[in-house]
Structure 1
Amino acid sequence: MNKGLVLLIAVGVVIMIALSSLFIVDEREKALVLQFGQIKAVKEDPGLGFKIPLIQEVVRYDDRIRALDTPATEVTPSDDRRLVVDAFARYRISDVVQFRQAVGVGGLRAAEDRLEGILNPVIREVLGSEGVTSNTILSADRATLMARITTQARARARPLGLEVVDVRLKQTNLPEQNLEATFSRMRAEREREAADEIARGEEAAQRVRAQADRTVVELVSEAQKDADIIRGESDARRNAIFAEAFGQDEEFFEFRRSLDAYERAIQGRNSTLVINPDDAFFDYLKSDTGRN
């Protein structure tokens, strides 16, 4: 083997060793340099880093804020009305050395399992504390409760090298076994309200009908009174006219009244009368000049 090839191989090996001793950390990461599992260096700022090839290794951790959805947790507020709370947390690795020592090689998965074990008890503890009712959890005061949960969770997660940014309550529901009973109560309440509305409407309708009936009776009575007055005045006027006519010509008045009697007697389809021919009723029919 000639010296040029040996030199080329040697240069290549040196270059490979030099490259394997370099590593880059970007702005989204933090890195630890480990030697046989022991932490030898911490690289938190972005840029170029160095390690001993073949002996040391680089472990990178995400430095961004991450989200963790916790499993639904059943809580019992002070009013004993059980609720199922669905929450999520945002966290980041604040101390990579402490994080590595706390979770070891398990990494983020192990850390999130540990964080869930912190969040669930804190949520139950805060939401089940004295003075916290289901109405408080469902009202605008839940912001204060979330702040309390965040403060307590942050303190408990700090030994893991984690910083809990905040904890939010996504949903708050009734347990499945209580939903049907709640819906039944809601239906019963709505049916009762509907029955009350129907009863009030029927009562109002009866008042309107009674008022209308009374108005009809009053109007009919008033009209009947006016009609009786007019009829009486008409009868009086007619009688006055008859009396005046009788006073002027008694014979003509008698003749006129007999004609009216004839007209009334033969009204309708029946024109047959059974009557004594000598009766005074026929006086004006017996003679052209008058009564005999």
Structure 2
Amino acid sequence: MKPRSMMVLVVLLLVFMVGSKSVYIVKETERAVLLRFGEIVDDDVKPGLHFKIPFVNTVRTFDGRVLTLDARPQSFLTLEKKRLVVDAFIKWRIQNVGKYYTATSGEEFRAGDVLSTRVEDALRNQFGARTLNQVVSGEREELMEQVIQDLSKVAQDELGINIVDVRVKRVELPAEVSESVYERMRTERQREARELRARGRELAEGIRADADRQVTVIKAEAYREAEEIRGEGDATAANVYSSAYSRDPEFYSFHRSLNAYRNSFGGEGGDVLLLDPSSEFFKYLSEPAGAR
């Protein structure tokens, strides 16, 4: 290859290298700053194609999407001095790129350390001003809103980032006291169960006693009504018999004698009766014609 051609090739290669170093692209999901010898020239480079001076300007790009930071589980004391283990996470994004770069040198882990510390302080203050019941259920949403409000101002002033959301994933009692708390809860529930069973037995006894009383009253009233009806029936029957017998007393006497004969002589036991033939009992056998 001729020296002239070699020179042209080298020049073209240098031009290509300088041109490639002069162009950079910022994506829609990125935030960027333009530096000149380490000093910020443009603290918010817009997405798109841009040019820079090679070896003079430097571009630092950062993720502009919402990021998630898992805070370290920490122990906090409630208003009644009960210790809780709290695990939370933070949703955040870069708002002021220049301030973010100045505060963290563009290192995400540094921003995470500062955010974790600030979140711990905010949660400690909010948990310390509330009771255990309020923290667990009563005022959870209000607590989170207050933490976001307090943390957002600090994060914007110190780091140039915006706090999107802060949530508590888990609130637990320390392991050393969990078992005693659960045991106390079991004891309390067992006591309530015993009270409910005793109350139920008391009500059941009352219901049984009332049912037994009602049964006795109903039987007594039924027996009284039955006796009244039976007495009325006996009285009616006596009146009927008296009316019927008064019409023909002789026939009534004859009918009674026949029944007496049937009962006396119709038995199968072989009993022996010693009676006087001339007695009143044999009146209709000895004198059937005159018995009328």
Q: What TM-score, normalized by structure 1, do the two folds share? A: 0.77
Q: Distance in 2 between matches of 1:212 and 1:266?
A: 54
Q: Is the 8 A contact 1:43 1:49 kept in 2?
A: no
Q: 1:147 aligns with which of 145, 148, 152?
A: 145
Gaps of at least 5 residues in structure 1 are none
Instruction: Please say which of residues 164-173 and 257-266 is displaced more in the overlay.
Output: 257-266
Counterpart secondary structure, 1:13 = helix
Partners of 1:154 and 1:249 lie apart in 2 by 123
Question: Match for residue 259 of structure 1?
Answer: 258
Amino acid corresponding to residue 217 of structure 1 in structure 2? T
Which of 133, 136, 139 in structure 1 is aligned with 2:134?
A: 136
Change (3 A) 1:22 1:266: farther
User: After superposition, where does 1:28-177 map in structure 2 within 5 Å?
Assistant: 28-34=29-35, 38-46=38-46, 47-54=48-55, 56-104=57-105, 107-129=107-129, 132-139=130-137, 141-157=139-155, 158-177=157-176
Q: 1:122 to 1:88 in 2, by over 3 A?
A: same
Match for 1:65: what amino acid? Answer: V
* Structure 2 unmatched ranges of 5 or more: none
In structure 2, relative to structure 1, the CA distance for the partners of 1:115 and 1:226 (3 Å cut) is closer
Per-residue CA deviations over 1:200-242 (Å, capped at 9, x if unaligned) read: 5444444444444344333333332233233333433444455
Indicate how the Cα distance of structure 1 residues 283 and 82 shifts in structure 2: closer, same or farther if over 3 A, else same.
Answer: farther
Shift of 1:108: 0.5
1:95-149 CA-to-partner distances (Å, cap 9, x unmatched) read 44443343347x10222122212211221122112xx112222346333322322
Counterpart AA for 2:131: T
Is the CA contact 2:254–2:284 (under 8 Å) kept in the aligned structure 1?
Answer: no
2:222 counterpart of 1:223:
yes
Shift of residue 20, structure 1, vs aligned partner: 1.0
Supply the distance in 2 between the matched residues of 1:104 and 1:163 (Cα, whole angstroms): 17
1:17 is displaced (CA, Å) by 1.2
- 2:34 and 2:92 mapped to 1: Cα distance? 23
Per-residue deviation, 1:92: 2.3
Percent identity, please: 34
| Deviation sequence 1:20-56 (CA, Å, 0-9, x none) | 12222233333344566x3253351324444443455
Partner SS, residue 45 of structure 2: coil
Considering only aligned residues, what root-mean-square deviation do their CA atoms show, in Å?
3.5
Which residue of 2 is the match for residue 235 of structure 1?
234
Deviates more, 1:186-195 or 1:120-129: 186-195
Separation in structure 2 between the aligned mates of residue 97 and residue 272 of structure 1, nearest angstrom: 136
Higher mean Cα deviation, 198-207 or 134-143? 198-207
TM-score w.r.t. length of structure 2: 0.77
Equivalent AA in structure 1 for residue 215 of structure 2: V
Partner secondary structure for residue 69 of structure 2? strand
1:11 & 1:167 partners in 2: Cα distance?
54
Q: Which residue of 1 is the match for residue 282 of structure 2?
A: 283
- 8 Å CA contact 1:25–1:43 kept in 2: the answer is no
User: 2: CA distance between counterparts of 1:245 and 1:108?
Assistant: 124
Q: Distance in 2 between matches of 1:266 and 1:191?
A: 80
Report deviation, 1:256. 2.9
Residue pair 1:27, 1:45 contacting (<8 A) in 2 also: no
Counterpart Cα distance in 2 of 1:159 and 1:7: 53
| AA at the equivalent of 2:72 | P
Q: Which amino acid aligns with 1:135?
A: N
